[in-house]
Each structure stands twice: as C-alpha cells, then as structure tokens.
Amino acid sequence: MRHLMSPLDFTVEELDRLLDLANDIEKNPEKYAHACGGKILATLFYEPSTRTRLSFESAMLRLGGQVLGFSNAASSSAAKGESVSDTIRMISCYADICAMRHNKEGAPMVASRVSGIPVINAGDGGHQHPTQTLTDLLTIRSLKGRLNHLTIGLCGDLKFGRTVHSLINALVRYDHISFVFISPEELRIPDYIREDVLDARGVPYKEVERLEDVMGGLDILYMTRVQRERFFNEEDYVRLKDFYILDKKKMKLAGPDMLVLHPLPRVNEISVEVDSDPRAAYFRQVQYGVYVRMALILTLLEVEV
C-alpha cells in the first residue's frame, strides 16, 4: 500500500505517468466518471481549508466515488483528546483512502504508519503540501510544455510556506532549473532547504528582496500569502503582510510568456487588476488541482481505467 507524504515519494517517471493520466482525465472526463464507484474518500481536516478539501471531494465525486469526513478539529473527537493514530485506525474501517491536513508537521506520517488505507498528506504545518505541488507541476507542464529549463521566482513567505518547500523539493529533480527567492529578510527559505536540497544538488539560486529587480528574467512567478497562522506575534505579521503586491505596473516588467501562479487563498499579494492578464494562471491552476487529485486517487487505489 502506498501513501503520499512528500512529492519525492514518486520517482520522476512515476510523476510523469501521473501527470499524463491527469491530462487524459482533462481531455476525456467521461471515461473516468465511474472509475471509483463503491469507493469512499475520507477528508480529515484538522486545519482550515477550502480549496484542498473541496478539490479532493470534487475529485472523488467526479470519479463516481463518495466522500465523508470533517473540516474542523473542534467538531471531531480530537477535541475529546483522541490521537491521530486512533482516528486513522477507525477511519480505515469507514473509507478506502484518506486525505489529512494537520497543523502539526509529521501528523499524516504518524497516521500512515498505522493506517489500513492509503493516506495523503494534504498539508502538515509549515512542512509539506505534496498535492499542491502535483497541481503546480501539472499547471506548469500543461501551460509551458516542460518541467526543465525554467527559472522560477518564488515570492512572499518562503519561511512558513509549505507549498514553497514542497515545490522546491520536486523541481530540483529536473534539468536546468534555477530559482530566484524573493522575500523579506525575516521570511527567507529555511536553512535546511538551502543546504540539504539546493546546495546538496548544486542547484543555482539567488535571494533578493525586490520583486521589480528580477521580474524580467522569470519563466514562472509563484506568489504566496504571508502565513499569518504560523507567526508568533501579530505585530510581525502586520509589518510583513503587504510587503509584496503584484500589480499591473510590475507585470509590465515581466516577459510576455511569464506565468503567475499562486496556491491561493490570496490576500493582498496579487492585486485583482492582474486577474485579467493572460499570464495570470492561478485560477486555471485550481482546475488542474482537481484533475491531478483524480489521477492521484486512481493511482493510490490502483484503479486501472
């Protein structure tokens, strides 16, 4: 039985197959409409979410399966003190596969060790968010036609942003990738990513503070929200929250093919006036998120269509 904790749980070849499957689902949705008939997905969300939980549910429903779960730890037995391990043992009797989001790093991993069903990490604290990364990879590959030879700018909260950590981990496996990290000093990428992931593989990167200085050289600009819930004090959050605001004026500095991605939810970091720019890909990204989660559910349940 396979789980998904990190994007590295799949080899590059397996990822390619998964993304191919997602593209096939995009083209021929009717072929997959009953693929998961009789199967149940449980969504165990101990931390707030709109997109990730609903896109998992939408993915399972579009595969003809059914869903159950909770979207708030306060309404689950966690509020009575039940451990994640006990919860997953029980859920294994109710469902065939589960997606878990937790504020504690490693909670889905703990669950996977005792689970009787595949567990998907739907975001664990500031650590990883592998299904957002699958979404990002599918979006980039579908819209750019490649996952190599790319300069990717990651902007905003690079310290606490789990989507950023997972995406860097996944992209360093492709050829000729370079990164530009754009953040305030306090929100730079963690040392472990710099040392264990980038330096260990000799991946080129630079760290800058001003978005305007680097816009012109990017293939992808990945914007992120300042992760308020992971700050120790509100004052720091308030000081940093509007550090970057991508607007029409800054978009003029970018090339005609640069894509803007964002895992969403957005707060102020992308002005709504950018939404109508053909380079703004963040709502298309949401649609790719459903296809890739459909492909992931089929893969982990070993359903052949």
Backbone φ and ψ for 206, nearest 5 degrees, come out as -135, 155
Rounded to an integer, what distance in angstroms lies between the CA atom of residue 137 and that of residue 176?
15
165 part of the interface to ligand NCD, by CB under 6 A: no
Out of 6, 43, 52, 121, which residue is the one contacting ligand NCD (CB under 6 A)? 52
Q: What is the largest CA-CA distance in the chain?
A: 54
Tokens in use for 294?
């459909």
Query: Quick one: how far is CA 248 from the chain centroid?
Result: 26
- Measured from the CB atom, the residue of 32 and 263 that comes closer to ligand NCD is 263
- Measured from the CB atom, the residue of 39 and 101 that comes closer to ligand NCD is 101
Tally of CB atoms within 10 A around 63:
26
53 part of the interface to ligand NCD, by CB under 6 A: no
Sign of CA dihedral 301, 101, 269, 7: negative
Out of 3, 162, 165, 293, which residue is the one contacting ligand NCD (CB under 6 A)? 162
102 part of the interface to ligand NCD, by CB under 6 A: no
Applying CB under 6 A, the site for ligand NCD has a residue count of: 10
- Measured from the CB atom, the residue of 3 and 129 that comes closer to ligand NCD is 129
Out of 127, 141, 225, 293, which residue is the one contacting ligand NCD (CB under 6 A)? 225
Backbone φ and ψ for 157, nearest 5 degrees, come out as -90, 85
Rounded to an integer, what distance in angstroms lies between the CA atom of residue 140 and that of residue 149?
12
**Contact map string, positions 113 to 142, toward ligand NCD, x by CB under 6 A:** ----------x-----x--x----------
The residue ranges that bind ligand NCD (CB under 6 A) are: 51-52, 123, 129, 132, 162-163, 225, 263-264
